Every structure is written in structure tokens, then in C-alpha cells.
Chain A
């Protein structure tokens, strides 16, 4: 991640200039042909609080990240399940079997998918060392492209570009259940020793997890789709719950950027606690402005 610290502000300035130029030209053009009936306000004042909340929270997160980069050691609580990552990889290596990594159905801009790709790159660094085959059937074409790059880089960083096999990261199909059918078939035939299910999952979660369980694989799951969590908890050995999935890549990589951001998220929770606690106390005394405020803002 070289040069990152300095290029960020430069990038922001460059980007801002470009976007402001585009916006300015466009606004100008549209102002000339605007009719009287249209809403030509530049800013919807009803949304000012959301805007301010976004700014406040962004500033907190960014501050925490820069603070973390200054080199101070940051604490992160134990995430049960992540200790098992090494165990899972070790077992696969011992048994001479493969590891299957499933990123779910999310697209590339999906937060869970990105978190999962970060975890995958950590896993890939380890499998590169042990020369354990890492199979990644993909459901989204763009995700497949990014993952190929990431895993290749991970193998390169470990000095094992020779162990990287692009055929192991492949597109299966975009259809939800055809994907489940294909992955199930691969699981029962290849019998991977460990199965990672990390990312965005829908109804196929239990189809995959039960099949993985039936072949006796160690399964480490994680998703931010709260309605699929019960099935992972029932059928997998370890499950990362909701936000734990986002925290996992920070936990594994110990990267200051991710750790700092996690700290920022914790401050965000405090910012949520504040209005809730104050609002409840005010309500109990019959003062309703906090509740009315949140009702208006939406």
C-alpha cells in the first residue's frame, strides 16, 4: 500500500475539481431551460440533517483511520471463528484436499463482497505457502475478475506465483439456484476439507451449508444478511455475525486502515446510543422533540 497516505488528499482534490466542473456546467445548461414548475432548488433542506450526519460520521471514520496510521497499536476484540481459519487451512493441507471459498451472490460494490474478498486475500496468502488448492466458483462476472487479480497478487506477494492457477477461480452462473446446484455438485465430487461461505447469501445459504456439512468439511461462514444467519449458525462450525464479517478482514490483516475504520464505527455506535438514550429520557418526561425530529428527517 505504498504512497497511499499522501495520494489520498491529492486524489480528493483532483476528483472534487472534476466533479464540480461537471456539476457546474450542467447546472448552467439546465438553468437556462428550466421551467417554472420544476423544483430547481440546489439542496433539499429537508435532508440537511442526513447530510450533516453523513459528514460528521465520515469525518470521525477518516480521523480514526489517519490516527491509526500514525502507528499506535489498536485493540480489537477476539472474533470467535477467525482463529479457526488457520486450523481449516492446516487440515486441508494435511488431508491433501482443496479449500473452497464461496463469495456469495453479491455484486462487486456490495460491502459484504468486498469484506469477503479481503478475507479471501488473507486466506490466499496462507494457501500459497502450503500449496493447497483454493477453489473459488463465482456468481458475478465482475467479482470473478477482481478476485482473480487479488488472489494472483496474494500468491505473488508470498513469492509463489507458480502455485497460482487461474482456472481455480472461475465463473459458474449468475442464476441463484443453478449456482447452488453447481457448487453442491462440486462439493460432493471434490470433497474440499474446508469451505468458506463469506459474503452476501440468500436462500441458497442452507443448501450450500448442509451439503458442506454432509461431506464433513470444516465450515466458516459469515454474512451481513441477517435472515440467513440462523442457517449458518445451525449448519456451520463457525459463523461471523453481521458486522463481524466487516471486522474480520481488519482482524486478520491488522491493517491500520481497517482497524482505524472499525474504531470509527464504534464511535458511530456511540453516536447512535446518544440520541436513543436522550430521546427515551426526554420522552419519559413528555418532551417529544427528539422523536418528532427523527420522524421528520426520514
Chain B
């Protein structure tokens, strides 16, 4: 028995994981969310911006990380529109170009924001370093036109945003190293304020930057989305997902504990 539990077929674990996600998806359960400080800092920063300020959002995640970062993007963009803060979207990843476009359009439709006045989407340009540095001198030196091909001079919002000087916050939504690029090239060189929303796996690697204040805020994956949704009081995919997360986490914790109990029993029997 113990022997069997020790070397359980991994496929049984797989089935348990699948069930832990599928069953709560079918039933609707929800748990209260505690907001962590780094997420709150991001929220507070945006909350304190006067109407008419500008936030630049980098959609630097591919389709594979959409699950974690989309809900977060939605919550933050909604918050900005609600506060009449203008949003400029862009990306450093080719495969993210359409994602960012669709996201901004969706939220704008919900919040009643107008393209060109409340938000603009610049799309993708290759060569991350040059894009980030180039925007420090003039945004239109890198993006001569927006994603749809409209010249930046014809977009009212861009008339008084020439470079980072007029951008009050950069929010990087990242699944890779892009936050480090922003830090190296825009915080270090241009003193740009940066906040980040990143996938669960790279959260811990961002803490050093948070401590050195190179990041003013940090949102961890789906949890960050749920926290932000709570702050703006608009529960959505993040909150829903976190409840399912609870079951999956309980399962993994349970499995580890079970593994250790059997391990100790076996070791005692061995003695």
C-alpha cells in the first residue's frame, strides 16, 4: 500500500489536477481576496494621477501567457479610462501586436473611451532596445504611425505626448525579460516611473527591482488581476480564476503532504 503510494503513477496525479480545475469551473465558487502591497502601490499611483495624465502600457506577452495577463490588462485599462487617464499601448513582441489592439478596443467599448482622444495603440516595432531608447527622444521617431497606419500627427492624443517626459507611468505587462529592458533603458536613462504586471514565474525575480524602487508597483499574475479587480470593485476573470486556483493549490499542497506522510511511514518501517 505505502509502496504503491510512494510510486504512484503520475497519470493519477494528472487526473486529479484536471478534476481540480474542471469541477470548480463548472460550479461557481468564490473566495475573498487579500490585496498585497505591490499591487496596491500600482493602484494608488494610478488613482493619484490627475485626469488627463498619460499611462503607457507595454503588452509584452505572447498568446501563451494570455491567461495570466489579459485579466490584469483589462482591470488596469478600465481603471485608467474610468479616471480619465489616457492610455498609449505598444508592444516589443511581434506576436503580441494583435493582442494589445483587441484588448484596448474591447475595454474602450465597455468604458466608452474614444480612440485618438482617450487612447492610442502604436503596435510593434522590432529591436526592443532601439524602440525604448528612441522613444526617449521622440515617440514618433520610432512609431511614425499607429497600428492602423494613421500618422501620429493626426492623433489628437499624441499631439502633446512627444517622449517619456509626458508619460506619467509605464506599465509593462510581461511574460519575459521586457520589464528588465524598460528598467535598464528607460528608468536608468530617462528616470521614467515604471510598474509591472508579470506572470507568476517571473514575479520573484522582480522583487529586487521593487526594493530598489526601480519598479513602483508589481502585480503577480492572475492573483494580481484578482487583487486589482477587488480594488476597482469589478470582479471578473481574475477573481473567478483565483477561486479555481484555490482548489488546485489545495490539491498540490495535499499531494506534497501525502507524499511526505508516506515517506515517513516507509522510513519508519525501514528502521
- A residues at B contact (CB < 8 Å): 176-177, 202-203, 214, 226-227, 298
The total of Cβ contacts below 8 Å across the A-B interface reads 12
Further pairs besides A202-B176, A227-B202, A227-B204: 9, Cβ < 8 Å: A176-B64, A177-B64, A203-B64, A203-B201, A214-B10, A226-B205, A227-B201, A227-B205, A298-B188
Bound-state Cα–Cα, A203 to B201, Å: 8
Q: A298 — which chain B residues lie within 8 A by C-beta?
A: 188
- For the complex, would chain B's binding face be called helix, strand, loop or mixed by DSSP majority? helix
Q: B188 — which chain A residues lie within 8 A by C-beta?
A: 298
Task: Identify 12 residue pairs between A and B in the complex whose beta-carbon atoms are under 8 Å apart, listed by A's number.
Answer: A176-B64, A177-B64, A202-B176, A203-B64, A203-B201, A214-B10, A226-B205, A227-B201, A227-B202, A227-B204, A227-B205, A298-B188
Q: Kindly provide the distance from the CB of A242 to the nearest chain B CB, expressed in whole angstroms.
A: 13
Query: In the complex, how many residues of chain B place their beta carbon closer than 8 angstroms to a beta carbon of chain A?
Result: 8
- For the complex, would chain A's binding face be called helix, strand, loop or mixed by DSSP majority? loop
Q: A203 — which chain B residues lie within 8 A by C-beta?
A: 64, 201
Q: A176 — which chain B residues lie within 8 A by C-beta?
A: 64
The residue in chain B whose Cβ has the minimal distance to the Cβ of A226 is B205
Q: Kindly provide the distance from the CB of A110 to the nearest chain B CB, expressed in whole angstroms.
A: 12
Q: Kindly provide the distance from the CB of A204 to the nearest chain B CB, expressed in whole angstroms.
A: 10
Q: B201 — which chain A residues lie within 8 A by C-beta?
A: 203, 227
Best-buried of B64, B176, B201, B204 by chain A (most CB within 10 Å): B201
The residue in chain A whose Cβ has the minimal distance to the Cβ of B204 is A227
Q: B205 — which chain A residues lie within 8 A by C-beta?
A: 226-227
Instruction: Mark B45-76 against chain A: 1 for CB-CB distance below 8 A, else 0.
Output: 00000000000000000001000000000000
The residue in chain A whose Cβ has the minimal distance to the Cβ of B214 is A298
Instruction: Mark B112-148 against chain A: 1 for CB-CB distance below 8 A, else 0.
Output: 0000000000000000000000000000000000000
Bound-state Cα–Cα, A3 to B171, Å: 53
Q: B64 — which chain A residues lie within 8 A by C-beta?
A: 176-177, 203
Instruction: Mark B181-225 against chain A: 1 for CB-CB distance below 8 A, else 0.
Output: 000000010000000000001101100000000000000000000
Bound-state Cα–Cα, A202 to B174, Å: 14
Q: Kindly provide the distance from the CB of A279 to the nearest chain B CB, expressed in whole angstroms.
A: 14
The residue in chain A whose Cβ has the minimal distance to the Cβ of B200 is A227
Bound-state Cα–Cα, A186 to B10, Å: 20
Bound-state Cα–Cα, A112 to B204, Å: 21
Q: B10 — which chain A residues lie within 8 A by C-beta?
A: 214
Q: Kindly provide the distance from the CB of B79 to the nearest chain A CB, expressed in whole angstroms.
A: 28
Q: B176 — which chain A residues lie within 8 A by C-beta?
A: 202
